[in-house]
Structure 1
Amino acid sequence: MKKNVLFIHSAGVQGLHQGSSDLITYLKESLGDEYSFICPKMPNLDFMLWEDLLVREFAALDGEVLLISHSLGGSVLVKYLSEKTINCSISGLFLIAAPFWGKDDDWQVNEYILRENFPTTLPHISQVFLYHSRNDKVVPFAHLGHYKQTLPMAKTHILDDDGHYFNNGLPKLVADIKEL
Structure 2
Amino acid sequence: MAKQILFVQGAGEGTHDSWDSKLVASLERELGEGYAIRYPRMPGEDDPSYPAWKTALLEEFDSLEDGAILVAHSFGGTILIHVLAEQPLELRVGGLFVIAAPFIGEGGWPSDDFDDFKDFSERLAPGVPVYLYHGTGDAEVPTAHVHLYAKAIPHAVVRTLERRDHQLNNDMSDVARDIRSVG
TM-score, normalised on structure 2?
A: 0.90
Instruction: Provide the rounded CA distance (Å) in 1 between the counterparts of 2:15 and 2:143.
Output: 23
Q: How far does residue 92 in structure 1 lie from its aligned partner after superposition?
A: 1.0
Indicate the residue corresponding to 1:139 in structure 2: 141
Q: Deviations over 1:61-108 (max 9, x none)?
A: 122111101000111000000111211111111010011012236x11
Q: Which amino acid aligns with 1:151?
A: I
Equivalent residues of 2:134, 2:168 under 8 A apart: no
Q: For residues 87 and 25 of structure 1, do their structure 2 counterparts lie closer, same or farther at Cα, with a shift above 3 Å needed?
A: same
Q: How far does residue 144 in structure 1 lie from its aligned partner after superposition?
A: 0.9
Equivalent residues of 2:3, 2:36 under 8 A apart: yes
Q: Which runs of 4+ in 1 moved over 6 A?
A: none
Return 5+ residue gaps in structure 1 as ranges. none
Indicate the residue corresponding to 1:38 in structure 2: 38
Equivalent residues of 2:66, 2:94 under 8 A apart: no
Instruction: Provide the rounded CA distance (Å) in 1 between the counterparts of 2:155 and 2:87.
Output: 21
Q: How far does residue 142 in structure 1 lie from its aligned partner after superposition?
A: 0.6
Q: How does 1:150-169 map to 2 (within 5 A)?
A: 150-169=152-171
Please give the secondary structure, in 1, of the residue aligned with 2:140: coil
Equivalent residues of 2:104, 2:114 under 8 A apart: yes
Q: How does 1:45-124 map to 2 (within 5 A)?
A: 45-104=48-107, 107-124=109-126
- What is the CA RMSD across the aligned residues, in angstroms? 1.6
- Is 1:9 the counterpart of 2:12? The answer is no
Task: Give the paired residue count.
Answer: 178
Q: How far does residue 143 in structure 1 lie from its aligned partner after superposition?
A: 0.3
Return 5+ residue gaps in structure 2 as ranges. none
Q: How far does residue 15 in structure 1 lie from its aligned partner after superposition?
A: 5.1
- Is 1:27 the counterpart of 2:27? The answer is yes
Equivalent residues of 1:90, 1:124 under 8 A apart: no
TM-score, normalised on structure 1?
A: 0.92
Equivalent residues of 1:3, 1:35 under 8 A apart: yes
